[in-house]
Amino acid sequence: MDLDLTEEQRLLQQTAREFAEREVAPIAAKLDEEHRHPAELVARMAELGFMGVGIPEEWGGAGMDTVGYVLAIEEIARHCASTAVIMSVNNSLVCDPLNKFGTEAQKREWLIPLASGKKLGCYALSEPNAGSDAAAQKTIATVVDGGDMFELNGTKNFITNAPVADVVILYAMTDQAKGVRGISGFIIPLKGTPGLTLGPADKKMGIRGSQSCQIFLDKVRLPRTALLGEVGQGFKIAMNTLDGGRIGIAAQALGIARAALEASVKYALERESFGKPIAQHQAIQWKVADMATELDAARLLTLRAATMKDKGLRHTPESAMAKLFASEVANRAAKEAVQIFGGYGYLADYPVERNYRDAKITEIYEGTSEVQRIVIAANLLKD
């Protein structure tokens, strides 16, 4: 698909493509097999400016836009969804809210090292009983020491990057009586904070090179300077952040779907059955035709949401549509790729098996498909 991209966007896309093909692809299967965090790839992404793509250069970023970010994520996810989501979380869920809502002191302390890739961040909203119902926070932040400090107690679940991250943006209830208006955001160092401990790394079906775990808070004391934004502003910050984060996950899904399509086309042209390449069978032709059509449609939805974000326009339903459709396209494409490969598709020797496992999470994290439909419908059915 030929889009009217700027020279800078094309260069970012090409740089990401070359990096992914030369450095990510050769070790992607091993990362999955070993459940290993790709520290060497994260370091290279930092050198290339991928860890803070949309952050201004003065705050350690590359000074690019969301469209360029989408293009880069797709290229990397095409070869390794795990590496792509590490990049996505640091960009969308950590650097972006710090850039929008952080104080100058917080930006100096955290945003510069995060956007430049010297540090890695994570985002803690989900809890054991507060996944899709993000407003049902049970982690409590109590004012202590005459209002100078907060004491946090609770548990966060499925926190991507947490086992290897330096800092977490974490949400807690500061006033339960106010509901969503009683949630606040905090910036917390993950290393050396008394009372904060990490659970063991989650054992996952897919994206095994991206590590996640629980975060436990037991009488964690934080100064008021740890607040991100104002008291009670946390839910607004979290939802604003997820609007952008869903664009990143949509881009990850595009990469997975594209990998499935490209592998299917290549295999169909090489594999023979009944005396001819399976590409000549209509059943296969229809599968790849549907995969290609849906992939282009998902990419257009994703780039629309990215363009709206770059223009400073509200993009809540557009991001939800992009994430919903792209994630479901990725799952359909990965499923059909396994079917086209037949028995070989079921073996770990072929990347389509990994694509199939990796695709599923895109329908779950940063808002399930059901939540995306709720968001879209809510925006359509306003009084």
One DSSP character per residue, 64-116 reads --HHHHHHHHHHHHTT-HHHHHHHHIIIIIIIHHHHHH--HHHIIIIIHHHHT
Whether residue 85 contacts residue 262, with contact meaning beta carbons closer than 8 Å, is answered with no
Residue 148: phi, psi to the nearest 5?
A: -85, -20
Whether residue 220 contacts residue 194, with contact meaning beta carbons closer than 8 Å, is answered with yes
- Does 47 qualify as catalytic in the annotation? no
- The CA R_g of the chain, rounded to the nearest whole Å, is 21
One DSSP character per residue, 272-284 reads EETTEEGGGSHHH
> Token digits for 25?
């692809």
> Token digits for 5?
């991209």
Is residue 5 helix, strand or coil? Answer: coil
20-45 residues labelled b (16+ CB within 10 A) or e (exposed): beebbbebbbebbeebebbeebbebb
Residues 6+ apart with CB under 8 A from 133: none
The amino acid sitting at 181 is R
Residue 160 CA to residue 213 CA, distance in Å, equals 7
Residue 201 CA to residue 191 CA, distance in Å, equals 16
**Candidates 109, 318, 328, 366; catalytic one:** 366
Bridge-based pairing of strands 167-173 and 227-228 is unpaired
Which residues are the active-site residues? 366
